Amino acid sequence: MPQADSSAPHLKVLVVDDQLDAAESLAFSLQFDGRTVQYATSGEDALKLAETFAPDFALIDIFMPRVDGHQLARALRERFGAEMVIVAVTGALKSVELGDFDFHLMKPIDFTQLHLLLAHKRGDGC
């Protein structure tokens, strides 16, 4: 696993996946790497959590019941604007419409690719 960079502790990451094991393991990996992380297992819980946590970066599973990843991304974008980096995370092999997402990662997540996204600000050519 790549080592945390010196800016890692300042980056707040929200992980959202309706599969508890997936959300916990990704959150743990990011915390182990020195980032501040919170996770939720539903879009509704993620919205509530985001109000107090105010994440800089969100990793969101697209296919969730009730509030899906697209709806959640739109709500986060409306609340936090373009400064928040929002990444779609899915296991779907078909093409994904990004919409309000900035980037797309396939499951299982390639941590090298994830660390590159986390290390750069939005618009730095990632």
Mean pLDDT taken over the chain:
86
Residue 10 predicted with pLDDT over 90:
no
Quick one: which of 61, 56, 50, 49 has its CA closest to 25?
61
Residue 25's pLDDT is what?
Answer: 95
Instruction: Identify the DSSP state of 2.
Output: P
Number of domains in the chain: 1
Give the 3-state secondary structure of residue 11. Answer: coil
DSSP for 54-80 reads: --SEEEEES--SSS-HHHHHHHHHHHH
pLDDT tens digit string along 50-89?
999 999 999 999 999 999 999 999 999 999 999 899 999 9
pTM for this prediction: 0.86
Instruction: Identify the DSSP state of 107.
Output: S
Residue 96's pLDDT is what?
Answer: 66
> Helix (H) and strand (E) counts for the chain?
4, 5
- Quick check: is 65 in a domain? yes
CATH of residue 76's domain is 3.40.50.2300
Question: Domain range holding 108?
Answer: 9-119
